[in-house]
């Protein structure tokens, strides 16, 4: 029996101790492989598009270019690349700016190793992991800001149905099973949803749906 293909992760973190700790967690866990770790956003922008990881773990407080700016620029080069913020910050401004830039999840650095690995598995399956506190802050911030109702009205009934399932926390495979669709069809609908809502990630689409 062939071994499953490991989830390839790249790390962007300026603190060498944290960088080495994350590398050790990933390399020591079955089903994961750390491709490379970067100390700056500038290095990450050069290396990550060439390495093509499955997921990027991104710190916010980097020496020159911020993690938020790095996310935005990486998403320009690789729009489908899932990026999870891993940081000590939990204030709503940084959280929201990271998600607006295209991050698909937001975890704090004190997240236990097993929870971190499980979050990465969720991302690989189409999930958008966040700590409970972060998720509440994001939803509250978005509801205060509001969203364009016209944008969500442009969705087809099937697209609205899929977005509703996403808002409930269902993964892409679960949505496909519930609606009797292929996984590829669900991904096609998601792409159309992103284009109509002018967003770049599942999390941003759900937030627009919640705040409509």
pLDDT tens across 94-151, in order? 777 887 788 888 888 888 899 899 889 888 877 677 666 666 665 555 555 554 555 6
Taking the C-alpha atoms of residue 212 and residue 207, their distance in angstroms, rounded to an integer, is 8
- Is the entire prediction scored with pTM above 0.75? no
**Residue 102 has what pLDDT?**
84
Q: What pLDDT does residue 46 have?
A: 94
- The string over 176-208, giving b where at least 16 C-beta atoms fall within 10 Å of a residue's C-beta and e elsewhere, is beeeebeeeebeebbebbbebbebbbbbbbbbb
CA distance 92 to 78: 26
Q: What is the pLDDT of residue 138?
A: 59
Q: Which domains does the chain have, with CATH numbers?
A: 7-141 (3.40.50.2300), 146-210 (1.10.10.10)
Residuewise pLDDT in 10s, the chain (212 residues): 556 789 999 999 999 999 999 999 999 999 999 999 999 999 999 999 999 999 999 999 898 899 999 999 998 888 889 999 988 866 667 777 887 788 888 888 888 899 899 889 888 877 677 666 666 665 555 555 554 555 667 888 898 888 888 777 677 788 889 999 988 888 888 878 877 877 766 666 776 666 54
* Predicted local confidence at residue 47, as pLDDT: 95
Residues contacting residue 179 through CB under 8 Å, at least 6 positions apart? 158, 161, 162, 165, 186
Q: What is the pLDDT of residue 143?
A: 53
pLDDT of residue 186: 85
pLDDT recorded at residue 195 = 77
Quick one: pLDDT at residue 131?
63
Report CA dihedral (14, 98, 158, 160) to the nearest 10 degrees.
150
In the chain, at which residue ranges do the beta strands (DSSP E only) sit?
7-12, 32-38, 55-58, 83-87, 105-108
Q: Reduced to 3 states, what is the DSSP secondary structure of residue 176?
A: helix
How many alpha carbons fall within 13 Å on the CB side of residue 189? 22
Q: Are strands 32-38 and 55-58 parallel, antiparallel or unpaired?
A: unpaired
Please tell me the distance from the alpha carbon of residue 102 to that of residue 79, in angstroms, as a whole number. Answer: 9
Find out whether 73 and 94 touch, Cβ atoms under 8 Å: no
Closest to 86 in 3D by CA, of 65, 113, 116, 107: 107
Contact 57, 13 (CB under 8 A): yes
The DSSP element (H or E) to which 138 belongs, if any, is: helix 132-145
Residue 7, beta-bridge partner list: 32
């Amino acid at each position: 029996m062939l071994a499953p293909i490991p989830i390839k992760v790249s790390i962007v973190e300026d603190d060498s101790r944290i960088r080495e700790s994350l590398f050790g967690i990933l390399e020591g866990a079955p089903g994961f492989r750390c491709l490379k770790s970067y100390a700056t956003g500038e290095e990450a922008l050069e290396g990550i598009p060439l390495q093509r990881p499955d997921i990027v773990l991104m710190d916010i407080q980097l020496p020159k270019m911020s993690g938020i700016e790095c996310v935005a620029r990486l998403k320009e080069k690789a729009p489908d690349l899932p990026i999870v913020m891993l940081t000590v910050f939990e204030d709503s401004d940084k959280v929201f700016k990271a998600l607006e830039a295209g991050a698909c999840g937001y975890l704090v650095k004190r997240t236990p190793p097993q929870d971190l690995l499980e979050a990465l598995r969720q991302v690989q399956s189409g999930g958008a992991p966040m700590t409970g506190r972060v998720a509440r802050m994001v939803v509250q911030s978005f509801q205060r800001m509001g969203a364009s109702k016209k944008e969500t009205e442009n969705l087809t009934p099937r697209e609205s149905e899929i977005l509703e399932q996403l808002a409930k926390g269902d993964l892409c495979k679960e949505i496909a099973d519930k609606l009797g669709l292929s996984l590829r069809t669900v991904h096609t609908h998601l792409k159309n949803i992103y284009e109509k809502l002018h967003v770049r990630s599942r999390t941003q689409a759900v937030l627009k749906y919640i705040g409509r």
